[in-house]
Each structure stands twice: as C-alpha cells, then as structure tokens.
Structure 1
Amino acid sequence: MNVIVVGGGKVGYYLAETLLEHGHKPFVIETDKEICRKIANNLDIPVINGDGTTLGALESAGVEHCDAFVSVTGQDQVNLIACQLAKKRYGVERTVARVNNPKNLKVMKRLGVDIPVSSTDSIARLIEREIDVATIKRLLSINRGEATISEVEIPKNYSRNGTSLMDFNLPNECVIVSITRGDSLIIPRGNTQIFSGDKLIVICRNEYLHQLLHALRIE
C-alpha cells in the first residue's frame, strides 16, 4: 500500500524503513534537507523537502492516491493539521498522528485523526491492521492472540482470477482451511483455483496476515 509519512526524524525513518521491509511504498515529507538526503540515499524511496501542512507538498507526494497518511513530527499541532488536511481535503481513509503529549490524545481523536498514537513502536503495526481490516474479517484468536482464524474475501475484478493455489507464494505461517464459493464449500488442494467472490478461511500468525494479502495480490 502507498503510505505518506510526514516527518523524517528517528520515528519517521524507522517507520519508513519498516513499511518498506513489509512490502509497502512509503513516501516521506520532511523539512530538513540533510534528513531528506539521508532517507533518499539509505532507503531509496521518494522524499520531498517540504512542509507536510502545505497543499503543495501533500499533492507532490500524491496524497490523493495514498492508502494511509501518517504524521510523526515532534510537534502535535503539525501532526494534527497535516492529518486534517489529508482527511478533509483529500479524503484519505486512514490518518495516523504521533502524539508527543499524551494529554492531546483525546483532542486529536475529537478533531478528526483516525488513530492518534503515543507509542511510536506500534505505529507500523497499527497502519497495517487498520488497512487490512477492510479485507480481513478476524473470526477467532488462537493461543492468546498469537494467531487468528480469519475470513478473507477475494475482491471483484480480481487480477489473478482462476490462479491455482500452488502458484501463489503463500507464507509458510498461513494455511487456507476452506473456500466458500456461492453455496459450495471447498477443501482446497494445490490445484484449487481462486476466483472473484471466493471467501477463504485461513489460520495465520498475526504478523503474517499482511504478507498473505500481498501474496494473494489483494492489498
């Protein structure tokens, strides 16, 4: 998924690096030229030297087409304004703001930020979970939340319609238990094909759920 990250400091750098490792496409907006150069050179991702609270910088980063918008600067006011612009002007579905002062958590939420986060280490996981929720319906947690039984619905106009399971590079930590197609229940084998509208019941360790979606090409 495409994720715009406002703020390229330690938190922004870590977040961009983590998203990149997980197969996402981060785009960073940062005011400091040296930090921009460092991120571009080390991570080889698009970086804009600009202010994330300005329309010009946001549009240059492709805010109209991003799946999630995250502002993680050291200033709560900047993070709030950036998220409000992304949400209200460009219709971004998921906005995440780093909250440096925990007292501002409720204010951020009340003023339109979807996910205000004070624990920076959990931001990457939160983004993936919120984006995936539209595709994955979690049915049951297993082993104290270590894994999940979930339903994954294959979208309409599926790009890999008719592809056999053996041709997907599925994570080893995920198992497709059954496929519901209309009124039929299918116990899948390697040559079982996947079609638009199918509903897959999967058992998967939570940290591999997004990799499963990536492998199925339904991010």
Structure 2
Amino acid sequence: MKIILVGGGKVGTALARQLSEEGHNVTIVDTNKARVEHLTESYDVLGIVGNGSSITTLAEAGIEDADVFIAVTGSDELNLLCCMFAKKAGHCHAIARVRNPSYSHELDFIKKQIGISAIINPEMAAAKEISHLLRFPGASKIDTFAGGRVRLIKFALNGTQALDGVAIREIPTRLKSDILVCAVERSGDVIIPNGNFVLRSGDQVTFLATQENAHEFFQRIGLPVRPVRNALIVGGGAIAFYLSQELLENHVRVRIVERDADRCTELAEQLPGAQILNEDGSNREFLLSEGMESTEAFVALTNIDEENVLLTLFAKKHSHGKLVTKVNRLEFDDILAGLDLGSVVYPKYMTCDYIVQYVRALQNEAGSNIKTLYRILDDRVEALEFTVHEESAATGVPLSQLHLKKNLLLCCITRGDRILIPRGGDQIQVGDNVIVVTLEHGLHDLRDIVDHAAQN
C-alpha cells in the first residue's frame, strides 16, 4: 500500500521502520531536513522536506494515489489540518494522533466533520492500560481482546507459586484453572510452548484467559488480585489526568505530585476528588513523608524517562505496592527489561500498534480483518485477533488436522457470547473471532496461520 507519513519523531520513526519492513511504499514528510535524511538512509522509505499541511507538499508526496495518510507530528491541530487537506486532495484513509485532553470528548465529532478514519490518543490508551494493571496488580502486563472479555496477562514466575517444574499440560488439572500459556520468556529467549514445556522459576509467563479465570488462577498461585485502593502518582501530565479520572470513578484515593504550580491549579480544578501536591517528585524525603512506604500503587509519569526509572527503583526499595513506569523512548527497552521496574508502559508503542493494526486490516477487507494487534515481549511476539468473514483453508477443519505454522499458537475462539480455549476437535467458523500468538511478524489474514506446504 502507498502510505504518506507526516511527522518523523519517535512514533514516526517507529512507524517508518515497521511499515517499510512489511513491504509498504512509505513516504515520510517532515520540516526537519536532517531528520528526513536520517530516516531515508536508515529505512526503505522516500522522504520529503516540507509542511504536511501544504497542498504542494502533499501533491509532491503523491496524495492523489495514496491509500493511507498518517499524521503524527507533535501538534494535534497540525495533525487534524493535515488530515483534512489530505482528504480534500486525495481519496485515502486518514489517521491522526490527537493528545490534548480538551479534545477527548469531541473526537467522534471531529472524525465525522473532517472525515478522518481513526484518531489515536496514546495518553488515554496508556491511562487505560495502567488502570487495568492497578485493578489486577499481580500482572506486569495486560492486553485485552474480544471487547475486554479475554485478556493476555504476563507475570513473573518465582519459587513461591508452586509452578516451578510443572509442565503446561498439568496446569488445568493441578490448579483447576482454565488458562492457556501462550509465551514464555527465559534467559533472553522467547518460546511459544507446547503442553510438554516445563515452567521454571524466573520465567516471564504470558497466558490467555477470561477475567474470571485469570482471577481464579492468580488466587490459586498466590498472586494479588484485589484492586489497589490508593495510588501515588508523580507527574501531572495528560496520562495522570486520564488515569486519575478512571481511578476516582472506581473510588481509588489519588494523590498527584507535580512541580509546576500552574499545572497543579489546573489539576485541582479538573480533578476535585484528587489530592494535588505541589512538590518536586524527585524529593525523596517528601515522597516518604507522603506515605510512599504504605501506598498500594506508585506510578511514575514524569516527562523524563530517566527520572521515572530512578523514582521506580527508589519506590521498589521502600514500598511493597504495585509499581508502574512510563517510558517514552523505545531504544532502551531491552536494557530496562533487566531492571525489574514493575509494569513498564510505552505510549508510543501503543500508537504504532494501533496504526499497524489498522493498515493490515485495510489490506484484507474481504477475508479476515485484524481486529486487534499487540506486539509483546519486547516486540518479539505478535498477538492478533482476526474476525473471520469467509471460508478458507483455516475454517471448517478440526484443529488437530490443521497444520499451523511453526512458533504459532491458536489461543482462543470467541463465538457470539461463547469464549473457547480451543481443543483438537474444535473448528474455526465464519463469524468467529480468533486470537493467535506468534513469533512471526507481519500476518495479515487468518489464512496466513496455515502452513500450506505441510497441509499439502
């Protein structure tokens, strides 16, 4: 597909890499010449130095025959203006990143008026993810499918959970838990396991289950399941605002530490139920005096990654609460993985995942659309949810006779109100939603899960 991408910042760079690797014809537009040159030298993309809201620039980028237009500059207004001009000048799908909370209640109106296909608010998405983690604190990562009914949950396996040395096929009978282990991270490697795979203490285990079954499983292995009742948040930006709204609605006590006095005044007016503390969040004595040691959740949301990491490490030393760290830069995720920072949230990954999911879904409007896409375990595994629109080699065949590609696991089938952890006799039917986890990147359609060479 021909894709025009306006904005070459962190998200634009990640998208340029991902979309070009998937074989798309990508043209990136940015006013910064050095940035455009870096991107065109680093990835298989074309580059244009110019303003994405200029009709002349859009024409030079080939807007008339573009399939998708994506605006992810640092300005919400510029992103919307770019999309509006792109829709006028071409016939493409338009996607805009809009982050300002003041627009949060107007997004549907904006989409209809401008004709934008999708609007992404990464801060709101990050806040929802953190809210899920605080409601289920034993998990280090939670991704949702099937409208929230099915969850992909990651946790750290240690010696207290009675799973060390247990084969995966033994879990349902031994713990009477209807879950499916989908991926295991061990010593830097990622494995899509079969039933004979034996878990070891130190593994990072990702499993799929309904919310109720995940709750029962965590109770049986001794991990916390009670939602947190109070949270200490450092940093009063947009994510803190959205998160506090969610937490206050769920009767969680919220305290926000923010060094900017004017921002504190704004937050106090917008969040009357929260306690706003005007102080430098890196003041260790202040944090301890405000009850860091007894807080049930500590969330580091400043705009400086290094400060968030150090704050979380300090909180880890002084608190037994749930720890959440926001990280903006994507380059050091492998280093951060070794620091045990609790749950690390990357808003920019969420933006990339959503856009890649949308682009892949456009390519398969007839067969099986991608409904949900997550890249997990340091971007090495993809978890996808397909909606099955028509019959194919993957439908109407007992799963025991379906030759799936290597390093791929068919995890769940949702059929109406039913949620099936699939067994050998189950079959995929038209109308189903199917969740798969795979080490292979770039699946576009449910048909891609079948190893046709083995099938024949």
TM-score range, shorter chain: 0.5 to 0.7
Q: 1:128 pairs with 356, 359, 374, which one?
A: 359
The residue that corresponds to 1:99 in the other structure is 98
The residue that corresponds to 1:38 in the other structure is 38
Following superposition, which runs of at least 4 residues in structure 1 exceed 6 angstroms of deviation? Answer: 211-214
Residues 44, 139 of structure 1: alpha-carbon distance in 2 compared, 3 angstrom cutoff:
closer
Partner-residue secondary structure (3-state), 1:52? coil
Higher relative contact order (CA 8 A, sep 6+): 1
Give how far 1:134 is off. Answer: 2.0
Give how far 1:61 is off. Answer: 0.9
For residues 69-115 of structure 1, the C-alpha deviation after alignment (integer angstroms, 9 at most, x for no partner) is: 100001011101110111123122x1100112133241532432220
The within-5 A match list for 1:182-201 is: none
Q: Does 1:116 align with 2:116?
A: no
The residue that corresponds to 1:14 in the other structure is 14
The residue that corresponds to 1:4 in the other structure is 4
Q: What stretches of structure 2 of length at least 5 have no aligned partner?
A: 123-350, 373-382, 393-403, 411-429, 449-456
For residues 120-151 of structure 1, the C-alpha deviation after alignment (integer angstroms, 9 at most, x for no partner) is: 2433334325413523345999xxx8554624
Distance in 1 separating the partners of 2:82 and 2:371: 36
**Matched-pair contact (CA < 8 Å) for 1:139–1:151:** no
Count how many residue pairs are aligned between Structure 1 and Structure 2: 172
For residues 147-167 of structure 1, the C-alpha deviation after alignment (integer angstroms, 9 at most, x for no partner) is: 54624599xxxxxxxxxxxxx
**Matched-pair contact (CA < 8 Å) for 2:20–2:44:** no
Residue identity opposite 1:124 in structure 2: I
Partner-residue secondary structure (3-state), 1:47? strand
RMSD: 3.6
Higher mean alpha-carbon deviation, 54-63 vs 110-119, is at 110-119
Give how far 1:46 is off. Answer: 0.3
Q: Does 1:150 align with 2:150?
A: no
Residues 136, 53 of structure 1: alpha-carbon distance in 2 compared, 3 angstrom cutoff:
same
Residues 52, 127 of structure 1: alpha-carbon distance in 2 compared, 3 angstrom cutoff:
same
The residue that corresponds to 1:62 in the other structure is 62
Give how far 1:29 is off. Answer: 0.5
**Matched-pair contact (CA < 8 Å) for 2:370–2:385:** no
Residue identity opposite 2:355 in structure 1: A
**Matched-pair contact (CA < 8 Å) for 2:53–2:81:** yes
Residue identity opposite 1:115 in structure 2: A
Percent of residue pairs identical: 29
Distance in 2 separating the partners of 1:81 and 1:18: 25
Give how far 1:21 is off. Answer: 1.8
**Matched-pair contact (CA < 8 Å) for 2:72–2:97:** yes
The residue that corresponds to 1:210 in the other structure is 444
Q: What stretches of structure 1 of length at least 5 have no aligned partner?
A: 155-169, 176-198, 215-219
Residues 171, 72 of structure 1: alpha-carbon distance in 2 compared, 3 angstrom cutoff:
farther
Residues 171, 110 of structure 1: alpha-carbon distance in 2 compared, 3 angstrom cutoff:
same
Give how far 1:2 is off. Answer: 1.3
**Larger radius of gyration between Structure 1 and Structure 2:** 2
